[in-house]
Amino acid sequence: MIDTVKNAEATATDGLPYAELGLQDDEYAKIVEILGRRPTQSELAMYSIMWSEHCSYKSSKVHLSQFGKIPKGDRMLVGMGENAGVVDVGEGLAVTFKVESHNHPSYVEPYQGAATGIGGIVRDILTMGARPVLVMDPLRFGDADHPDTKRVLPGIVAGVGGYGNCLGLPNVGGEVVFDPSYQGNPLVNALCLGVMPVERIQLSAAKGVGNVVVLLGAKTGRDGIGGVSVLASATFEEDGPANRPAVQVGDPFTEKLLIEACLEMFDAKLVEGIQDLGGAGLTCALTETSAAGKSGMVAYLDRVPLREASMDPTEVLASESQERMLAIVTPDSLPEVLAIAEKWGVLATAIGEVTTGDRLKILWHGEAVVDVPPGSLADDGPVYHRPMVRPADLDALNNAPLPDYPEATKDLLLKMISSPNLCSKRWVVEQYDRIVMGNSVLAWPEDAGVVRLSEQTGLGVALATDGNGRYTRLDPFAGAQLALAEAYRNVAATGAVPIAVTDCLNFGSPEDPEVMWQFAEATRGLAEACAFLETPVTGGNVSFYNSTAGTPINPTPVVGVLGLLDDVARRTPMGFQDQGETLLLLGDTHDELGGSEWAWSQHRHLGGVPPRVDLAREKVLAEVLVSGSRDGMLSSAHDLSDGGLAQALVESALAKGIGARIVLPETQTAFVQLFSESAGRALVSVPRSEELRFTEMCNVRDLPVTRIGVTDGTALEIQDVLTVDLDELRTAHEATLPALFGPLAGT
Amino acid sequence: MIGGCWRGTGRVVQVKIGVVTFPGSLDDRDAQRAARLAGAEVTPLWHADADLHDVDAVVLPGGFSYGDYLRCGAIARFAQVMPTLIDAANGGMPVLGICNGFQVLCESHLLPGALTRNQHLHFVHRDQPLRVANNTTAWTTAYSVDQEITIPVKNGEGCFVADQKTLDALEQEGRVVAYYAQGNPNGSLRDIAGITNERGNVLGLMPHPEHAVEALTGPGTDGLGFFTSVLKELVR
């Protein structure tokens, strides 16, 4: 029997199994207080979804509020709170971008989990009125040679590719990182960026009494029920992979049609408000649109097209079936909306309307099954000030002595560049379409993806994501700042001016005070650094409960930085471009190998402190890289980070097969100079004719600049240290992933 | 110059290239850009419209028409535009099918053989060297025989297959337009990357020439020749 409002009123004091849906005692008491009776089954499901960690940000809200205090600058058109932030990029265009997690589903069902991760973030971007134009995916896995990594990595990569390729979105960057802390809890983050004329920005508010609520896209099925409240808001137990029904199944073809249909509706100005259906499905879309519009709404749930006729209203409300959008349109526009949907073969169904008052009523064959104030679901969820404790083992970690430094040798170099985190990711990225849409100017393995927005003027964007879980484990405050600094530096290395940030904060359980302390420190560090670098946070996502068997992952804030290029033809690539050019190292190299790739890959050592953060230096370095690009002084620029100078030299040389002769200064040992991960550095190549002008520009700005050699030949020669042919370097660099996951296509 | 306004015979000729958009076409805008850069006027064509709108040549673009959920191109082949297009092609109109478009041409029997799942079962995208084997088709006169060009390949089902007799005939009649060079990315039989019909007006190509028309966004401009060739052909 369907549990109606009438029935709930008649049995107002009956108990319900709220704990099984993840609600706490006091949360349930609050629901009863709001409604003045027990909730119906459907209402209970809705509260459990909307008040879940995933939807309500109940543990993180008090910390995220710091991001709201960062000065917005004069570019931000829409800030946090909508589906994604919107930034003015000039020429009448606006850009919206956001990174999100789809971690737990991707562990349970790697292909579909990763695929629908792409699908979900793309709809967030579409919802803002933008045409999605690129995706990126920062990925993290357990040890590269662990059997479960063999299970999840190929599926996740194929899922990211399968969905994004079929949607026709170029995948221009991201990360592939291995660490045992992600064993049993891989991180699948997905970023999408879209572009629109400024006047096409769409918001989610349902306004205008009498306006029609239209459900667009796929039919609703039983897939994904309990996705956010169960999968995303609790820690996996040993039975993780048995949760398959809670993972959604993706249909990129339907999403492609949905994109084209929605954009045509936006252009024709037919849409008053729009919201995507992602995690939390109709529950979230109905409550958020009516709450944002401060409107009442009535929805006739039995009109929702179903895949399975036997679904009950609670299931329809909780379903996370993909490829659906909810549009609010005027009655006059409705025929045209339905016609556009039909043209693209997209299902469109009027399922309700905006009403007076402030109640969301949901009817099932004429009987109310939900009657709630929507704001109580969307905005008045619980807020927790979770207890926080500095991890008990942190002092011991920070004081752990590093292994003895070895001599820098060819053997060490080859071992480093073939280690899983530093090796070539060709095996992965060849499975992604990186050029569809014809505007990809730079893509993997470049420092940042660069995409052209205007063929007429060359206006374009650069985007990079970074995050180092080891640094953040050793010092969450500094680790988050280093993630931002690296992405900021990567964007500037292409010649783009960094202007805004999105973040995906991947942490363990918020109920663990040590994790909560890490989270608080990381958000504080990130907020301060964003304010200093004048890159406001436009939006993002928090992913908690990333732990396996009680052990949390290394805290992993993934930071995406958006940069702007007036003319993408001026972009600076990372690879050496020509023989006989001068190589300059910008910034200072210190003895900083705590948390480094060397300590980890060669000794499985995690200890000490991460490299020092110097945001003022990052700013000057970025200014120099941008000016150098603008004035045509730079042939190449590559940021220094994981693996240090050695890694940058190898990657820059292999890009076009141009070698280098290097003479290291005598200030430090060759080992420290090659493998230290000091921040605020970049390797650039400049034509000899530009050397003086460029070094003078650095001197004027007090940016240390060291001439370390020239591009030359087809080998990497580091005087008195090592010489190695590029062919040998390439073989070592590219062999690792094929050896683990199968040969490269066609080899 | 190539394309644009031609005055060779004393009259102005503007070549119109149509690009068909099926549900799920992805590289349609890229094909339009390439045709424009070559100097053509571009007319978007819609799968559900049987009218070719007086175009002089047609490109069937890459993508995943109908999601490729059945066999690639097997549903698009029944689109309303296809009977008109097949008639036009049989009448000699130049038609280029790229990637998914190649698959549609095979499903329509305008070209022999079929494209199947890549041998290694992965989608693969890389800059691919090709060896041009026939420079007499409507789409390849800008190249020389044995010229090596680099254009991107990106497909999940690009493995060209046909029976031995067909393969022999294709090679003997010079109907293989391009071979994969320096490695075969998808397992195509005899390294075949593209073929043409007997008349040389219909060409199917698995790699994407429309993604090698600007040095800024592609591996170079080696792909532009396919589009300039057809312009030259049409004003001759």
Share of chain A above pLDDT 90, in %: 90
Same domain, A293 and A307: yes
Q: Please, is A456 exposed, middle or buried when counting C-beta atoms within 10 Å of its C-beta (0-12, 13-18, 19+)?
A: exposed
In CATH, what number is assigned to the domain containing residue A527? 3.30.1330.10
Report the side by side order of strands in the sheet with A440-442. A440-442, A449-452, A460-466, A556-565, A497-506, A537-543
- Nearest-by-Cβ selection for B27 from A251, A344, A436: A436
What does pLDDT average to over chain B?
Answer: 94
Dmax (CA) of chain A: 88
**Strand bridging mode A324-329 / A212-217:** antiparallel
**More confident: A125 or B4:** A125
Q: Is residue A186 part of a domain?
A: yes
Q: What is the pLDDT of residue A246?
A: 63
The one-letter code for the residue type at A256 is K
Q: How far apart are CA A211 and CA A355, in angstroms?
A: 8
In A437-567, the DSSP E strands lie at 440-442, 449-452, 460-466, 497-506, 537-543, 547-548, 551-552, 556-565
d(CA A413, CA A323): 47
Residue A241 maps to a domain: no
Each residue of B110-137: pLDDT tens digit? 999 999 999 999 999 999 999 999 999 9
Residue type, A204: S
**pLDDT at position A736 over 50:** yes
Give rounded-to-5 percent helix, strand, coil for chain A.
40, 25, 35
Q: Comparing C-alpha atoms, which of A118, A86, A91, A96 is closest to residue A105? A: A118
> Higher model confidence: residue A342 or residue A550?
A342
Q: Are the C-beta atoms of B102 and B139 separated by less than 8 Å?
A: no
Say yes or no: A739 and A602 in one domain.
Answer: yes
Paired strand residues for B128: B151
Ordered strands of the A171-178 beta sheet:
A76-78, A85-90, A93-101, A187-197, A131-141, A171-178
Contact call for residues A223 and A308 (beta carbons, < 8 A): no
Let me know whether A546 and A582 are in one domain: no
Residue A192 near residue A97, CB atoms below 8 Å: yes
Number of H helices, E strands in chain A: 25, 28
- Return d(Cα B101, Cα B209) in angstroms, integer: 13
**B 187-206 residues inside an 8 A Cβ radius of A:** 187
A572 CB neighbours in chain B (<8 A) are: none
Q: How many Å apart are CA A461 and CA A487, to the nearest integer?
A: 14
Tell me, what's the ipTM? 0.94
Are residues A217 and A191 part of one domain? no
Do residues A690 and A577 make contact, with C-beta atoms less than 8 angstroms apart?
Answer: no
* Interacting residues of B156 by C-beta distance below 8 A, sequence separation 6+: A165, B68, B117, B118, B122, B123, B124
Find chain A residues with C-beta within 8 A of B118's C-beta. Answer: 745
Domain co-membership, A556 together with A611: no
Query: Which residue, A571, A587, A606, sits at the end of a domain?
Result: A571
User: Token digits for B58?
Assistant: 């047609």
* pLDDT tens per residue across span A61-111: 999 999 999 998 889 998 877 788 999 999 999 999 999 999 998 999 999
pLDDT at B13: 73
pLDDT, position A235: 60
CB contact under 8 A, A436 and B26: yes
How high is the pLDDT of residue A226?
A: 67
Peptide bond into A445 cis (omega under 30): yes
Give the per-residue pLDDT at B8.
46
Question: Which helix (H) or strand (E) element contains residue A134?
Answer: strand A131-141
Bridge partners for A602 per DSSP: none
The amino acid occupying position A571 is: R
Residue B9, pLDDT above cutoff 60: no
Mean pLDDT of the residues in chain A: 95
Which pTM was predicted?
Answer: 0.95
Burial of residue A392 (CB within 10 Å: 0-12, 13-18, 19+) is exposed
Count of pairs with CB atoms under 8 A, one residue in A, one in B: 101
pLDDT class of B109 with cuts at 50, 70, 90: very high
Q: What are phi and psi of A48, to 5 degrees?
A: -65, -35
Residue where one domain finishes, among candidates A571, A598, A633: A571
Q: CA quadruple B137, B142, B146, B152: dihedral positive or negative? A: negative
A703, A682 in Cβ contact below 8 A?
Answer: no
- As a whole number of angstroms, the distance between CA B27 and CA B98 comes to 9
Say yes or no: B217 contacts chain A, CB-CB below 8 A: yes
Residue A240 has pLDDT above 70, yes or no: no
The first and second tokens of residue A319, run together, are: 């379903």
Secondary structure of chain B: what % helix, strand, coil (to 5)?
Answer: 25, 25, 45
| Closest B-chain CA to A256 | B24
* B29 → closest Cβ in A257, A433, A437: A437
Distance CA A679, CA B162 (A): 56
CA-nearest of A272, A254, A275 to A83 is: A275
A168 and B68 within 8 Å at the Cβ level: the answer is no
| Test mutation, B123, B153, B192, chain A, max A CBs within 10 A | B123
| Distant-in-sequence, close-in-space partners of B40: CB < 8 Å, separation ≥ 6 | B3, B15, B16, B17, B227, B231
Q: Does B210 touch chain A (CB under 8 A)?
A: yes
More confident residue, A108 or A577: A577
The domain total for chain A is 3
Per-residue pLDDT at A280: 85
Residue A114 located in a structural domain: no
Residue A656, token pair as written in the block: 């076009």
Residue B235: what pLDDT?
A: 86
pLDDT for residue A222: 87
Nearest to A413 by CA among A176, A653, A590, A179: A653
Q: Do B124 and A431 touch (CB under 8 A)?
A: yes
Burial label, B135 (beta-carbon count in 10 A; 0-12, 13-18, 19+): middle
d(CA A441, CA A451): 5
Least Cα distance to A563 among A446, A648, A652, A469 occurs for A446
Read off the pLDDT of residues A355-408 as tens digits, 9 standing for 90 and up.
999 999 999 999 999 999 999 999 889 999 999 999 999 999 999 999 999 999
Interacting residues of A440 by C-beta distance below 8 A, sequence separation 6+: A134, A170, A172, A434, A449, A450, A451, B217
Provide the pairing of β-strand A582-586 with A705-711: antiparallel
Residue A157 tokens read as: 């990569």
CA B43, CA B51: separation in Å to the nearest integer? 12
Backbone angles phi, psi at A659, to 5 degrees: -80, -170
Res. A747: pLDDT tops 80:
no
Find residue A525's DSSP bridge partners: none
Closest by Cβ to B120, choosing from A254, A455, A746: A746
Chain A contacts of B64, Cβ < 8 Å? 165-166, 168, 252-253, 256
Q: Are residues A34 and A80 in the same domain?
A: no
Mean pLDDT of A26-55: 94
A192 and A221 within one domain: no
Question: Can you give the residue range of the structural domain that contains A55?
Answer: 1-64+203-231+246-381
For A571, nearest residue in chain B (alpha carbons) = B216
For residue A237, the model assigns a pLDDT of 52
Q: Residue A414: inside a domain, yes or no? A: no
**Arithmetic mean of pLDDT, A199-228:** 90
Structure tokens at A103: 């971690």
pLDDT at B3 over 50: no
CA distance to partner chain A, nearest, from residue B129 (Å): 13
Whether B123 and chain A come into contact, CB under 8 Å, resolves to yes
pLDDT of res. A14: 87
pLDDT score recorded for residue B10? 47
- The whole-number pLDDT of residue A41 equals 94
Residue A273 sits in the same domain as residue A367 = yes
Within this chain, do residues A525 and A613 fall inside the same structural domain, yes or no? no
Smallest CA–CA distance, residue B48 to chain A, in Å, is 9
pLDDT of residue A249: 82
Mean pLDDT of A239-256: 72
Is residue A30 domain-resident? yes
Q: For position A232, what pLDDT does the model report?
A: 58
With 70 as the cut, is the pLDDT of residue A206 above it?
yes
Residue A65, Cβ neighbours under 10 Å: how many?
12
Q: Is the pLDDT of residue B95 over 70?
A: yes
A452 touches chain B (CB under 8 A): yes
pLDDT score at B97 = 98
In the predicted model, is pLDDT for residue A352 greater than 90? yes
CB A490 within 8 A of CB A448: yes
Contact B185 A436 (CB under 8 A): no
A403 part of a folded domain: no
Q: Which of A157, A163, A165 to mutate to test the interface with B (most CBs of B within 10 A)?
A: A165
**Residue-wise pLDDT tens digits, A263-290:** 999 999 999 999 999 878 999 999 999 9
Catalytic residues of A: 54, 102
Angle of helix A726-741 versus helix A410-417 axis, rounded to 10: 40
pLDDT the model gives residue A279: 78
pLDDT at A1: 82
- Both A514 and A528 in a single domain? yes
Same domain, A599 and A497: no
Any domain includes A107: no
Give B12's pLDDT tier (boundaries 50, 70, 90). low
**CATH for A591:** 3.90.650.10
* pLDDT tens profile B156-198: 999 999 999 999 999 999 999 999 999 999 999 999 999 999 9
Distances (CA, A) of A78 to A198, A203, A574: 11, 9, 33
Distance from CA of A398 to the nearest CA of B (A): 43
Q: Given pLDDT bands bounded at 50, 70 and 90, which one contains residue A531?
A: very high
User: Given B62, B63, B122, which is nearest A431 (Cβ)?
Assistant: B122
Query: Hey, what domains does chain B have and what are their CATH numbers?
Result: 5-235 (3.40.50.880)
Q: What are phi and psi of A354, to 5 degrees?
A: -80, 135
pLDDT at position A242 is 46
Provide the 3-class DSSP secondary structure of residue A357. Answer: coil
CA angle B208–B210–B215, rounded 5-degree value: 110
Residues A442-458 pLDDT 10s: 999 998 999 999 999 99
| Local confidence band at B7 (pLDDT 50, 70, 90 cut-offs) | very low
- Is there a domain that residue A278 lies in? yes
Residues A1 and A12 in one domain: yes
Question: Could you give the CA distance from residue B196 to residue B204 in angstroms, rounded to a whole number?
Answer: 6
- pLDDT digit string (tens) for A468-513? 999 999 999 999 999 999 999 999 999 999 999 999 999 999 999 9
CA-based Rg of chain A, rounded to a whole angstrom? 26
Average pLDDT rounded to a whole number, residues B206-220: 97
Domain C-terminal end among A354, A381, A408: A381
